[in-house]
């Protein structure tokens, strides 16, 4: 009896220490009250990015999806913490009004990857954070689980352009678990996995041996680690943290079969969009948003419907993982 109550006290102190440590950072991060409370009590929190809202989907589907994703996280026992930079202040946990603001700003918000954070803060700008910047801020405040649709990767012809998303290097340097549906085939999937290996990132696939390709369940690429339950994921994440590896973990959840877009339709739309991007010299951080929007147009909205369905599924799985991790730490 005495030992179980003292271990509960130690666990409470550890939660408080993690929370206080995160508050010692010099830059002011605005943490929503419910997120702050959950973190100090060791309750499950799921971090979410915001480039998917501003640049990844059109209005009003972006706003609807952002709200529904937060609701799914709550229904599955965790507190959602959408991350963005508003008027120069990094925010972890947004109000409905703040979500609306980002959704209506759309591409007028600055797409903010790690390299852009200091600039957006210094210029009091509005930044929609990508996976890399959101992971950085989630880690700063002590959130170990983060959900998105798909991460950036090595672009096709990346061996010539060196266009490799900073999401991959962030996974190599920041201990946050990223739940996603894999990588879109607008990117070079085998090279993306090679690069993650170089960065020392554990890539796990959920209920499959294969890395998923976002719109479809399979990419033809095998992964070295398979997880079958939220508890498996929680044990993996906790081991990664306790080993002090310093790297993130990527957990790839295949799109539910009933929502996957036909691989053939997607592939031909991707080929056309890639050709147009090359012809119009669309490069750098403009490439991903261009390809996403164009593939959606070319598929008559089918890719957007799939995208929304998979993000919701990731939110469901991510909330269960965050809950299992909180239980493991009790």
Considering only residues 147 to 166 of the shown chain, the ones binding ligand PSU according to CB under 6 A are: 149-152, 165-166
What residue 32 binds from ligand PSU, Mn ion, none (CB within 5 to 8 A, per partner kind)? none
> 274-282 — which CB contacts under 8 Å span 24+ positions?
274/156, 274/186
131 binds ligand PSU (CB under 6 A): yes
Total residues contacting ligand PSU (rule CB under 6 A)?
19
Place of tokens 């170990």: 144
- 148: number of Cβ within 10 Å: 25
What residue 76 binds from ligand PSU, Mn ion, none (CB within 5 to 8 A, per partner kind)? none
Q: What share of the chain is helix, strand, coil (3-state, %, to 5)?
A: 55, 15, 30
What residue 167 binds from ligand PSU, Mn ion, none (CB within 5 to 8 A, per partner kind)? ligand PSU
170 has catalytic annotation: no
CB of 111 to Mn ion, least distance (A): 10
* Nearer CB in complex with ligand PSU: 40/68: 68
Element (H, E) at 304: helix 302-328
Going by the DSSP 8-state scheme, the letter that residue 127 receives in this structure is: E
**Which 3 state secondary structure label does DSSP give 147?**
strand
Of these, 22, 36, 51, 306, which contacts ligand PSU (CB under 6 A)? 51
CA distance 36 to 19: 8
Q: Which of 111, 184, 312, 320 is catalytic?
A: 184
CB of 284 to Mn ion, least distance (A): 6
Q: What does the per-residue mask of binding to ligand PSU show for 250-289, with x meaning CB under 6 A?
A: -----------------------------------x--x-
184 has catalytic annotation: yes
Residue nearest to ligand PSU (CB): 56
Q: What does the per-residue mask of binding to ligand PSU show for 174-213, with x meaning CB under 6 A?
A: ----------x-----------------------------
Q: What is the dihedral of CA 251, 252, 257, 260, to 10 degrees?
A: 140
C-alpha triplet 234, 70, 270: angle, nearest 5°: 85
176, 147 in Cβ contact below 8 A?
Answer: no
CA distance 177 to 145: 5
Report, as residue numbers or ranges, the catalytic residues.
49, 184
Binding site for ligand PSU (CB under 6 A): 49, 51-52, 55-56, 113, 130-131, 149-152, 165-167, 184, 285, 288, 292
């Amino acid at each position: 009896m005495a030992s179980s109550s003292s271990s509960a006290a130690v666990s409470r102190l550890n939660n408080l220490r993690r929370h206080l440590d995160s508050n010692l950072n010099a830059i002011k991060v605005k943490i929503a009250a419910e997120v702050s409370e959950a973190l100090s009590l060791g309750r499950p929190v799921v971090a979410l990015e915001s480039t998917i809202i501003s640049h990844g989907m059109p209005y009003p589907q972006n706003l609807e999806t952002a709200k529904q994703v937060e609701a799914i996280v709550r229904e599955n026992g965790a507190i959602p913490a959408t991350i963005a930079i508003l008027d120069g202040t990094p925010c972890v946990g947004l109000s409905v009004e703040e979500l609306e603001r980002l959704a209506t700003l759309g591409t007028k918000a600055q797409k903010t990857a790690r390299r852009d954070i200091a600039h957006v803060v210094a210029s009091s700008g509005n930044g929609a954070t990508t996976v890399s910047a959101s992971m950085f801020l989630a880690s700063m405040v002590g959130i170990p689980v983060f959900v998105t649709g798909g991460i950036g990767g090595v672009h096709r012809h990346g061996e010539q352009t060196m266009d490799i998303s900073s999401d991959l290097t962030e996974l190599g340097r920041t201990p946050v678990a990223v739940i996603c549906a894999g990588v879109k085939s607008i990117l070079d999937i085998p090279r993306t996995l090679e690069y993650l290996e170089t960065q020392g990132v554990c890539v796990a696939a959920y209920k499959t041996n294969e890395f998923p390709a976002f719109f479809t369940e399979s990419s033809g690429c095998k992964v070295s680690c398979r997880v079958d339950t939220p508890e498996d994921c929680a044990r993996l994440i906790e081991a990664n943290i306790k080993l002090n590896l310093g790297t993130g973990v990527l957990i790839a959840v295949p799109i539910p079969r009933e929502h996957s877009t036909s691989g053939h339709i997607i592939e031909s739309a991707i080929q056309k969009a890639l050709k147009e991007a090359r012809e119009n010299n669309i490069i750098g951080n403009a490439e991903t948003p261009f390809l996403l929007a164009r593939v959606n147009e070319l598929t008559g909205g089918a890719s957007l419907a799939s995208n929304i369905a998979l993000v919701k599924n990731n939110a469901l799985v991510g909330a269960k993982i965050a809950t299992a991790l909180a239980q493991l730490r009790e």
